[in-house]
Chains A and B, each alone.
Chain A
Amino acid sequence: MRITSAEHLTQLQKEYQKEAAKFPRKILVCLGPGCLAAGSDRIYDAFLNHIAQRNIKGITVEAVKKTGCHGLCTQGPLVTIEPDGLFYTRIQAKGVPEIIEKTLEKNEVITKLLYSTPGKSQKIEKWADIPFYSHQMRIGLRNVGQIDPENIKDYVAVGGYQALAKALTMTPEQVISEVKTSGLRGRGGAGFPTGKKWETCRKVDSDIRYVICNGDEGDPGAFMDRCIMEGDPHSVLEGMIICAHAVGSISGYIYVREEYPLAILNLQKAIEAAREFGLLGKNILGSGLNFDIKISRGGGAFVCGESSALMRSVAGEVGEPRAKYIRSVIKGLHDKPTVLNNVESFATVPVIINEGGKKFASIGTPRSTGTKAFSLAGKINNTGLIEVPMGISLREIIFDIGGGIPDGRKFKAVQTGGPSGGCLPESKLDLPVDFDSLTEAGSMMGSGGMIIMDDRTCMVDVAKYFLGFLVEESCGKCVPCREGLYQLHALCVRITEGKGEPGDLELMEKLSKYIQLGSLCGLGQSGPNPFMSTLEHFREEYEAHINHKKCPAGVCRALIKYEIIDACTGCLACIPVCPVGAITGEKKKKHFINQAICDQCGSCYAVCQFDAIEVK
């Protein structure tokens, strides 16, 4: 069926809303990456099977929906029962009959499945009341976790493609002006003003212009774009079509990394559905706009998230960056003017068109407007996907939304901006999260990955990890990045092995400076950041490694030894977990670690319940 006009779209929206209203109670099963890994597809099937078998008043299989990521991944698999907002966590497929029997048939709440606050002090029934959710504001993620991403009707019912219909009544200049008013800055990390980018592209004299969506999310621990592509693919398409109208493009690409098969699948389904509905292809919504989108699959190279490398990859060439003295918005894919925006940026555009740029600009800070999605990972209670207004403090994100550090440990640092970002210490926790403040503090916004570290994290080891990642992912085209990061990593490894020498830090600082200055693309230029930012805030830790051959956090194996102290109760727990058989001891007697055999793996330390193992 083809939608021929804006009126037709509105008529369909009403129709689909009516259809949905037939099932007032809906069971939303989260099939986001975390829940899916924990087996939520089996839970979805279980709901379908059990509901099909039983005859429950007002509930049929149509009421069971699979959605994208709901956000609170650490508590998954998650099931939400709407419209009540009842929120069940850590569900197993075998627990489904109980939910049907008690909650759906008898309206009873199953307390054991409710979310409990860290420390288990309080149970919370509705997801909107959980601090993790109540502090958030969702724009880019508005539909993720709420609708079935595979069904275009769901998207249309919640007002999908209305922004497109509205944009098509506006001139391209008006659309660009609205986006400029919104102050939207690219969500991929660099924060370039989106409206300005579109305007430049439109003004370049060319027969062809391209619109590309960057879905090559490569930062370790980042999964925002993945969740949008998997959970609300139509919002990305809608943003791209609006952009095509604004800049005058007939051809678009979504570049998705091969590691995101579900994102590719859902986007492909969305594109096909949009074509069928006449939202992609010729004469979109009867407006005369022609535009179509293809998916281009990346091979999973981190550098292909860089704009010029990405465009080369789309064109079928080796994914290597080129020097951008002519910007890709003027000369990009196939040397034609190209708008490249991130998934989240495109997903945000429909809201800006619908609600107006001014309203969006009123959220956040004057220079970083709107909201930003982040993924929380690492040593934090509420691992998951969040979206918050810009300008919120790191403390609010980590402690109010993230629920703080698990096991009562102390916060040490947060890594923002992916491997090219930086680590910020506790003293920076009250920093507002916006593009400029993070850059000023020596980190960056990046695409929105946040990795939280506790006091058992060694910052030299962290720098080593991220540098190692960048050495692996450097494309190898230019020397400072290929050889320089390699040497920087090698020096870092040397320090963690206790072979660091006085003067190493100065050499590394100098090398970092010239890698930043001399590298060809952003990956190289920001490559030394993991080292520079940890050195800035944790210099004493580096010095302890080099001068005193000690790892204060007790992580670097060559510099530590584990010893059992008098607090040992003789519980025998550490003996079987030791992979090298270095621990001896009898029940109720203090155990002993043979240092000659011990390889400092830390298994005993992790398993000891009595803090009887010390790192020295």
Chain B
Amino acid sequence: MVTITINGKAVQANEGEMLLAAIRRQGIDTPALCHHDAIEPCGSCRLCMVEITKKEWEGWTRSVTSCLYPVEPGLIVSTHTPQLLELRKTILELYLARSSQSEVIQKMAEDYGITHSSFPVIPDGDDCIMCYACTRICEELGCFAISAVDRGHDKKVSGPLRQPPPDCIGCLSCAHICPTGFIKWQDLDSTRTIWERQFELLSCRTCGKRTITRDFAEYLMKKRNLPAAYFELCDDCKRTETAKTMGKIVVAAQEVLK
């Protein structure tokens, strides 16, 4: 543990952990849209920027993204300077111009006292804020099915060459992690649709409930070396089976002990 100063208060933090974690532990609300504990930080939303300095820097300060800056002993951190507040407001206005319909963005902007953007609303804007959470989780899980294609303002998340991603297994991680709920999917009967692709859903042998996609099951079989039988039951029925088996063992053990 090392000592750093956050907003004038000396606090303990782990050396090497990212500043954002240390700041949030203090209960200081620092906004971030692209941050998620499950994935590597990437610093694309720029909302978590803080101002840092050190005694020996002699008054020189630097603005950094707290999600990417590792804790060093003696760091002096300010999270809500007037300049940082203005920066966050400007960024939120830019978000609001692109994703004017997103409730998450609207709420966050409201917290900063912004109800409308000073910039013209982009007519073909959507709720994707290009935070890369979906592509990072997809990388983390080892599929690399989706990525950011094109560049600049035309950049969007998609399969290679703007086609449906051939390597997608329909696991829905991307949809669940998306902070604005932009990634849509649908389960209809035994078919799941996401990224303009359709996947077959497996059903539980006992109760008939839909479980995961066949592609996902096959992926896990290979990656985790699991038997096909593992995917025959849904999680609930698996639990019931286990309970039954355990019950039998207990009864048998009692018989033996009698």
Is B120 in contact with A479, judged by CB distance below 8 angstroms?
Answer: no
- State the total of A-B contacts with C-beta under 8 angstroms: 102
Contact bitstring B94-132, A, C-beta under 8 A = 1, else 0: 110110000000000000000000111010000001101
Contact bitstring B62-101, A, C-beta under 8 A = 1, else 0: 0111001110000000000001001100110011011000
Asked if A596 is at the interface of the complex by the 8 Å CB criterion, the answer is no
Instruction: State whether A473 and B152 are in contact (beta carbons under 8 Å apart), knowing that A482-B130, A483-B94, A507-B118 are contacts in the complex.
Output: yes
- The interface centre, meaning the residue of A486, A507, A510, A519 with most chain B CB atoms within 10 A of its CB, is A486
Per a CB cutoff under 8 Å, which of A301, A477, A490, A514 touches B44?
A477
Is A325 in contact with B147, judged by CB distance below 8 angstroms?
Answer: no
What CA separation (Å) do A491 and B117 show in the bound complex? 14
Complex interface residues of chain A between 127 and 182 (CB less than 8 A to chain B)? none
Contact bitstring A471-513, B, C-beta under 8 A = 1, else 0: 1111111111011101100110000000000000001001100
Asked if A303 is at the interface of the complex by the 8 Å CB criterion, the answer is yes
Is B91 in contact with A472, judged by CB distance below 8 angstroms?
Answer: no
Asked if A315 is at the interface of the complex by the 8 Å CB criterion, the answer is no
Is B91 in contact with A325, judged by CB distance below 8 angstroms?
Answer: no
What CA separation (Å) do A175 and B158 show in the bound complex? 49
Per a CB cutoff under 8 Å, which of B86, B97, B155 touches A514?
B86
Instruction: Specify which chain B residues have a CB less than 8 angstroms from the CB of A482 in the assembled complex.
Output: 130, 152-153, 155
Contact bitstring A278-318, B, C-beta under 8 A = 1, else 0: 00000000000000000000000101000000000000001
Instruction: Specify which chain B residues have a CB less than 8 angstroms from the CB of A473 in the assembled complex.
Output: 151-152
Per a CB cutoff under 8 Å, which of A323, A476, A490 touches B130?
A476
Instruction: Specify which chain A residues have a CB less than 8 angstroms from the CB of B122 in the assembled complex.
Output: 486
A299 nearest CB across to chain B (Å) = 10
Instruction: Specify which chain B residues have a CB less than 8 angstroms from the CB of A477 in the assembled complex.
Output: 42, 44, 130, 132, 148
Instruction: State whether A474 and B153 are in contact (beta carbons under 8 Å apart), knowing that A325-B69, A325-B70 are contacts in the complex.
Output: yes
Is B151 in contact with A479, judged by CB distance below 8 angstroms?
Answer: no
Asked if B179 is at the interface of the complex by the 8 Å CB criterion, the answer is no
Instruction: State whether A323 and B43 are in contact (beta carbons under 8 Å apart), knowing that A471-B153, A474-B152 are contacts in the complex.
Output: yes
Is A490 in contact with B120, judged by CB distance below 8 angstroms?
Answer: yes
Asked if A517 is at the interface of the complex by the 8 Å CB criterion, the answer is yes
Is A480 in contact with B94, judged by CB distance below 8 angstroms?
Answer: yes
Is B64 in contact with A325, judged by CB distance below 8 angstroms?
Answer: yes
Complex interface residues of chain A between 505 and 541 (CB less than 8 A to chain B)? 507, 510-511, 514, 517-520
Instruction: Specify which chain A residues have a CB less than 8 angstroms from the CB of B119 in the assembled complex.
Output: 487, 490-491, 507, 511
Instruction: State whether A518 and B151 are in contact (beta carbons under 8 Å apart), knowing that A323-B68, A487-B97 are contacts in the complex.
Output: no
- Since A476-B151, A487-B120 are in contact, a sample of 14 more A-B pairs with Cβ atoms closer than 8 Å, ordered by chain A residue number, is A323-B64, A471-B153, A476-B148, A477-B42, A477-B44, A478-B46, A479-B44, A479-B46, A480-B46, A483-B97, A486-B122, A518-B63, A519-B46, A520-B44
12 inter-chain pairs at a CB distance below 8 angstroms, sorted by A residue, are A471-B152, A474-B152, A475-B152, A476-B130, A476-B150, A477-B130, A477-B132, A480-B91, A482-B130, A484-B90, A510-B90, A520-B43
List the 3 closest A-B pairs by CB distance, nearest first. A476-B155, A483-B94, A474-B152
Could you list which residues of chain A lie within 8 angstroms of chain B, going by C-beta atoms?
301, 303, 318, 320, 322-323, 325, 471-480, 482-484, 486-487, 490-491, 507, 510-511, 514, 517-520
Could you list which residues of chain B lie within 8 angstroms of chain A, going by C-beta atoms?
42-46, 49, 63-65, 68-70, 83, 86-87, 90-91, 94-95, 97-98, 118-120, 122, 129-130, 132, 147-148, 150-155
